[in-house]
Chains A and B, each alone.
Chain A
Amino acid sequence: MPSPRDLTRAMLAFGGVLRASGLPVTTPELMDAVRALEVVDLMDRDEVYLALRTVLVSRMEEQPAFDRCFESFWKFQAEDGQGLDGLVSLTPPTLPDNEHGGNPPDAGQEKQAQIALDDWDEGEGSDDEPLEVPGLSNREVLMEQDFSTFPAEQLDEVARLTVLIAKRLARRVSRRRKPTRRGGIVDLRRSMRANLMKGEIIELRRRARRRRKVRLVLLCDVSGSMDLYSRFLLQFLYALQNVFGRVETFTFATRLTRVSDLLRGPSYKGALRRLTEVRDWSGGTRIGEAVRDFNQEWGRLVDRRTIVLILSDGWDTGEPDVLAQEMLTLKRRAGRVLWLNPLLGNPSYEPLTRGMAAALPLVDHFAAAHNLSSLRELATHLTLR
């Protein structure tokens, strides 16, 4: 029989192997594992496996990695009658190298991204005044013009306008959240306390349910012509960000990249430049795979208070079935799923690409994001119900 000290040493070594494979096991868990081994039959490999799995795995997705580690670490030599001493291989085995356990987002990322918009100052004035834009005379035309048709020298100006509209909208939305004195449910606990001296309840204390801010997750197609639309959408949403609890951004063409951190710079222009650097130009869009990667690695960013926005034209070179399956998974977890397709701005467009057709039934709202007025329209859909 191995002594508890041997067990402890073995468990600590095994813990190292697990961590290297992306399972964030803690020392208390390893100590529990030792205790677990004391109440199972060490000669029964299946039992050892089940016990360790119960203690050390804490989500289903960790199980395949755990199984591999267990296989390579605990060598069973029951014929030699060595018990657990023989189960332990002293040199840690080579680790499967395809493991990349998604690191939990660190607390710093919880902090809202701060993107200063250099060379742009916030316009004063009431919310209801028309959105006058100095320097751009024909506003209505600009509002309706497709982003892709602006000449290059006008793009900066349009970007500025995007942000202006977003800021106005943000102010309007936050005003709506002001608490009302009569709303909410009666808080009996505080009412009792407040009226204790009076002998009966005279003044009711109320409390409103604290509303958590909605979170946003963006999946932006940055392949080919989509890139331009992605930029405007990003600019728009980042200017709106103080309305949201958190904004997480991912880009994809053939593979998914998390760019939330890149967008967190002092200058938005610099941020967009950095975005260009991470772009993959390998051609083709595999939306289904991108959404699958997102679900697998970042699924935990999504809950029912999360709105997921996908910006893509739906030209998908991947399997439509994969896309449909993954959209279903996403829809189940998320509060709302919005699909933005700039091509929708074209009156003759019909969402007939195979990918689009597969995804459409699983989307809560399907909209264009091809011009300023459609972005403004989009803001009304960025609520949960």
Chain B
Amino acid sequence: MQRPIDRREFLKFASFGGAVFASGLGITAYGADSAGAKSTAADEFYFVQLSDSHWGFEGPPNPDAKVTLKKAIASVNALSEPPDFIVFTGDLTHTTDDPKERRQRMAQFRDIVAPLKVKDVRFMPGEHDASLDRGEAYQEFFGKTHYTFDHKGIHFIVLDNVSDPAAKIGEEQLAWLASDLKRLPKDARIVVFTHRPLFDLYPQWDWATRDGAQAVELLMPYPNVTVFYGHIHQENHHMTGHIAHHAAKSLIFPLPAPGSQPKRTPLDWDPAQPYRGLGFRDVEADVKQATYRLDEMPVVKA
């Protein structure tokens, strides 16, 4: 089952023990499970999701492209409490047909994010990083394109749906996913990081993964699964059955809402409100309740 969810419905969903969602300046929402139990601090931690920095992009949609990522890194470093880890959900660099330039952009991106105070930083590729050489340059700089890690009771799975230029996860990786899931208990807390949406958000704009439904099917038997992704340069929240999918804002230019205009052209840069529509996200995990509180953060605090 797939259906879009609006903000009100999402908050309602939160009250049933699902993901907890908060967005906007100063607006927060906290989750309580259906039994009303309170989590202890030991069950909670937070991480930061950054996405779609497109390092190397130049153009009117972001005349400030050379400093936007750097400002976001400074804002993450300025957070009052450091996150447990930081994740970049793909399109670290903007695509180029020149393999040498691609590597140069990756090296520059790596240098720009090096000042992050939190040293546990997880990467994954987007199609701009990996689709033209099946992830070859990306792996030279950032390692594997799909992997898992565990943190404080949550099993994190990084899925690569971009190294295949046809936007497929592929049989081999799906078998790897099936085998990884098989060893987990049914009540495992699972978070999936990926670049493209795993469901057909808007295939007319290439906002889909061709075999994403197979990954969702493998995840479906597990009641505590949440997906965080990038690619679409805007916040978006969607349910496939009980699985919540949260898209993150970009750090280069925002894109229009799915199907809201004929072409997927970037939204205009507004000099009066630089960085409007851009930002990163804090995700506070309540491991016991398997809920996630999302706070959308601007590139630069007003």
> Do the two chains belong together in a single complex?
no
Please report B residues at the A interface, Cβ cutoff 8 Å: none
Please report A residues at the B interface, Cβ cutoff 8 Å: none
